[in-house]
């Protein structure tokens, strides 16, 4: 049996209020008022598609042995690197075995469903467990409808043949060069066509056709669908499609538009993770991906679906929200507004690539060392143990720290040193079971941090080399989500 073995998601903490977007732009675009309800997830300055993908994958793999993963695929239309494999960075951060295949998939918002479909077929052919991650940090033109409806998020699916929670029944795809929006290689922002055309010809036409043909080809009755996932930003479209196909209106899943926004290629998988968290054995789940055609995938929840996922999941990340009404901060974080960073930011962020490669497990995977004789843990790993009265040589073994809980030993909030979001919080954390390190804190506000506060490590952007266009990643401490 081939299908989904585990699932996870990640939604950034910051939620920009749509009313704040409208308030800043209504002098120019008063018509946006009709969309000015609810909020949308936005990435912090140190988050991008790669960092969110890492967090979604960790959520998916929580409590699992990662040694069984034989391949990883990252789907996105907003991946930070055009000529450096983004999936490879995710692989290093997850500390997966070097002997895994990897692939980036993009250029369409159905890249997420396409990647999932390919992984399912590869696994069925004996390729082993495959990890599919989709993430999106889409940049929209200020004052546009997309700025209102988009959202940043990531989702992950682990595909395998054992302990399957959602059995893969089959799929049907259509490929047509229907251009509802596009972005050429030399542009930063998408050009979007007229909404009515996209709705009538794209969603209701192409997607409606794909759903009807999929149900027929897979021998599934419309009444058997318990969860219909249609990841489109328009209101009422999913309900209309359900009605045309004969699927019950109660099967239409919440698009998460009011709380997250539309996360592009990641959105079908995001909604699928949400559906799986609430599915019952025997439920049939129909997933749609749209973009220059459509993918339709059909799953059936197994008895194993009743086992709760170990990660936070959609509900956990949604509860972690912090409302943000500073539209100028959003513009700065998204790169639309160039601030005067001051002289303290005038230093070269060049990354020696040879050093990064040699220390990639330490830097990207947060792998420290543990003395095999004394049990002392240290970061970074070195040839000499730091154990008191036992400074042995060559006794260190790899000791991953990324998923080990930590607590604050000391901290400071620095108003003088450069950071895109002052003040800069950093301090000393103590890992459960041993090991300490000084690191930056992120996703914190005044009063969030105190000595003894539980923290978790999060993969983030450390700095950006603006001269060469290189992004440096490392791990930061985030306040632990409280139950």
> Per-residue pLDDT for 340 more than 90?
no
Q: pLDDT tens, 390-430?
A: 777 888 899 999 999 999 999 999 988 889 999 999 999 99
CATH topology of domain 343-366+401-479: OB fold (Dihydrolipoamide Acetyltransferase, E2P) (2.40.50)
Q: What is the mean pLDDT of residues 130-136?
A: 98
CA distance 386 to 218: 61
Sequence length of the chain is 483
Give the CA-trace dihedral at 261, 262, 268, 269, to 10 degrees. -60
The domain segmentation of the chain, as residue ranges, is 3-178+194-333, 343-366+401-479, 367-398
pLDDT greater than 80 at residue 10? yes
Mean pLDDT, the chain, integer = 94
Alpha-carbon gap, residue 203 to 372, rounded angstroms: 59
Q: What pTM, to 2 d.p., does this model score?
A: 0.95
Q: Strands across the sheet with 14-17, in order?
A: 39-41, 14-17, 322-324
Lookup: tokens for 183: 């972005």
Report pLDDT digits (tens) over 428-440.
999 999 999 999 9
pLDDT in tens, 59-103: 999 999 999 999 999 999 999 999 999 999 999 999 999 999 999
Average pLDDT estimate for 116-128: 94
Helices marked H in 278-413 — which ranges?
313-319, 327-333, 353-358, 360-363
Give me the pLDDT at residue 482, please. 58
Give the residue-averaged pLDDT of 112-130: 95
Q: Is the confidence at residue 39, as pLDDT, over 90?
A: yes
To 10 degrees, what angle do helices 237-245 and 208-217 make? 40
DSSP string, 263-293: -GGGHHHHHHHHHHHT--TT-EEEEEEESSE
Is the pLDDT at 389 greater than 80? The verdict is no
Nearest to 95 by CA among 125, 120, 131: 131
> pLDDT value at position 416?
86
Nearest to 44 by CA among 77, 76, 15: 15
Q: Residue 4 is encoded by which pair of tokens?
A: 């989904």
The CATH fold assigned to 3-178+194-333 is Peroxisomal Thiolase; Chain A, domain 1 (3.40.47)
User: Does residue 339 carry a pLDDT above 90?
Assistant: no
Task: Output the pLDDT for position 483.
Answer: 43
SS3 per-residue string spanning 418-448: CCCCCCEEEEEEEECCCCEEEEEECCCCCCC
* Ramachandran category for residue 56: left, alpha or beta (phi over 0 → left; psi -120 to 50 → alpha): alpha
| Structure confidence by residue, pLDDT tens digits, 160-200 | 999 999 999 999 999 999 999 999 988 989 999 998 999 99
Query: Treating both helix axes as pointing N-terminal to C-terminal, what angle do 111-124 and 267-277 enclose, rounded to 10 degrees?
Result: 60
Interval 272-297: pLDDT, tens: 999 999 999 999 999 999 999 999 99
Instruction: Find the mean pLDDT for residues 24-48.
Output: 95
CA 353/CA 356 separation, integer angstroms: 5
């Amino acid at each position: 049996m081939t299908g989904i073995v585990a699932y996870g998601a990640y939604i950034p903490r910051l939620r920009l209020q749509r009313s704040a977007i409208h308030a800043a732009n209504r002098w120019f675009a008063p018509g946006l008022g009709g969309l000015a309800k609810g909020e949308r997830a936005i990435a912090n300055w140190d988050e991008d598609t790669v960092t969110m993908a890492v967090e979604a994958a960790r959520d998916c793999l929580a409590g699992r042995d990662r040694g069984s993963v034989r391949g990883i695929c990252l789907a996105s239309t907003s991946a930070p690197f055009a000529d450096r494999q983004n999936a490879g960075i995710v692989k290093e951060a997850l500390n997966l075995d070097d002997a895994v295949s990897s692939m980036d998939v993009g250029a369409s918002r159905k890249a997420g469903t396409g990647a999932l479909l390919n992984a399912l077929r590869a696994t069925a052919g004996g390729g082993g467990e495959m990890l599919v991650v989709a993430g999106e940090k889409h940049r929209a033109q200020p004052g546009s409808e997309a700025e209102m409806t988009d959202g940043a998020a990531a989702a992950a699916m682990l595909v395998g043949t054992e302990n399957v929670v959602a059995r893969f029944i089959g799929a049907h795809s259509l490929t047509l060069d229907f251009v509802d929006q596009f972005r050429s290689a030399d542009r930063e922002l998408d050009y979007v066509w007229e909404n009515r055309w996209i709705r009538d010809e794209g969603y209701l036409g192409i997607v409606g056709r794909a759903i009807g043909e999929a149900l027929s080809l897979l021998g599934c009755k419309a009444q058997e669908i318990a969860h219909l996932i249609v990841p489109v930003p328009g209101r009422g479209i999913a309900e209309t499609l359900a009605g045309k196909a004969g699927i019950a209106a109660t099967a239409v899943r919440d698009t998460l538009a009011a709380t997250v926004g539309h996360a592009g290629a990641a959105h079908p998988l995001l909604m699928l993770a949400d559906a799986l968290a609430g599915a019952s054995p025997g439920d049939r789940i129909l997933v749609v991906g749209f973009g220059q055609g459509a993918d339709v995938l059909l799953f059936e929840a197994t008895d194993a679906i009743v086992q709760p996922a170990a990660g936070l999941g959609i509900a956990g990340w949604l509860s972690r929200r912090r409302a943000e009404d500073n539209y100028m901060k959003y513009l700065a974080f998204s790169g639309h507004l160039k601030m005067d960073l001051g002289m303290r930011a005038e230093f070269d962020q060049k990354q020696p690539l040879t050093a990064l490669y040699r220390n990639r497990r330490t830097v990207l995977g947060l792998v420290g060392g543990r003395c095999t004789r004394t049990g002392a843990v240290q970061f970074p790993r070195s040839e000499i143990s730091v154990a008191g009265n036992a400074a042995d040589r060559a006794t260190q073994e790899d000791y991953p720290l990324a998923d080990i809980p930590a607590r604050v030993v000391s901290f400071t909030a620095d108003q003088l040193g450069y950071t895109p979001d002052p003040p800069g919080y950093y301090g000393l954390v103590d890992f459960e079971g041993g090991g300490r390190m000084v690191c930056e804190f992120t996703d914190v506000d005044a009063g969030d941090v105190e000595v003894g506060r539980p923290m978790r490590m999060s993969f983030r952007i450390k700095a950006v080399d603006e001269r060469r266009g290189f992004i440096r990643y490392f791990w930061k401490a985030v306040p632990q989500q409280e139950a």
